[in-house]
Amino acid sequence: MNAIAPAAQKLPTTVGNQELEEQQQYLTFMLSGETYAISILRIKEIIQYGQLTEVPRMPDFIRGVINLRGAVVPVIDLSARFGKQPTAIGRRNCIIIIEVEVGEESQSIGVMVDAVNAVLEIPGSEIEPAPSFGANIRADFIGGMGKINGKFVIILNIQHVLSMDDMEALAAVGSGRSAAELVKAE
């Protein structure tokens, strides 16, 4: 009689306040000469950089909006969001469309990057906690530091990068209302 072994169970690991599966897939991309990563579970699609419509009176890191199959999608320049120079437009620029939670609703947001690299699997054992100092971006933006072939990749905590205050402004862009109108409606 053949005995069927139970499926191996993945044990969660904790990095900061995040629980990470034993092995997750991350999309890696370049931004200002550094490699960053976002969990693929947050990513809807990747598109080529295209025509943006600028929206007046938005924060500097919001480059504008795009029309994605009839939906208005705000586009954030991650380099500017991190307090660096705005991303220079080139042939390899991409917009990563990410799904984030805003209250009880989800919102599609475009994140402008220099170039997309690859999808990599990073074992939980190869992810270190975010450094408390010395990083080029705010520590709360970092979900962890992944080690790949002896080099570090900054794994972003996208919920912190796209904080609630920013989300209110972005939701207002998507709904056609101002952030003040959106806050009053709640």
The amino acid at 152: F
Give residue limits of the domains in the chain.
24-185
| Residue % of the chain over a pLDDT of 90 | 32
CATH superfamily, domain 24-185, is CheA-289, Domain 4 (2.40.50.180)
pLDDT tens column, 72-125: 999 999 988 888 888 888 899 999 999 887 778 888 999 999 999 999 998 888
Cβ–Cβ < 8 Å for 117, 108? no
pTM of the model: 0.74
Which secondary structure element, helix H or strand E, spans residue 78, and what is its range?
helix 78-81
Cβ–Cβ < 8 Å for 148, 86? no
Cβ–Cβ < 8 Å for 40, 49? no
CA pseudo-torsion sign 42, 82, 18, 24: positive
The larger pLDDT score, comparing residue 133 to residue 84, is at 84
**Best-predicted range by mean pLDDT (17-31, 104-118, 136-150):** 104-118
pLDDT tens column, 152-161: 899 998 887 8
Q: Which two tokens stand for residue 13?
A: 């690991």
pLDDT higher than 70, residue 173: no
pLDDT at 111 (0 to 100): 94
Beta partners for residue 53, in sequence order: 65
pLDDT at 83 (0 to 100): 81
Conformational region of residue 185, where left means phi above 0, alpha means psi within -120 to 50, and beta covers everything else: alpha
SS3 (DSSP) at 158: helix
pLDDT at 164 (0 to 100): 57
The two beta strands, 127-128 and 23-31, are: unpaired
CA pseudo-torsion sign 98, 89, 155, 53: negative
The two beta strands, 127-128 and 94-102, are: unpaired
Q: CA–CA separation, 37 vs 78, rounded Å?
A: 12
Q: CA–CA separation, 25 vs 6, rounded Å?
A: 24
Q: CA–CA separation, 41 vs 35, rounded Å?
A: 19
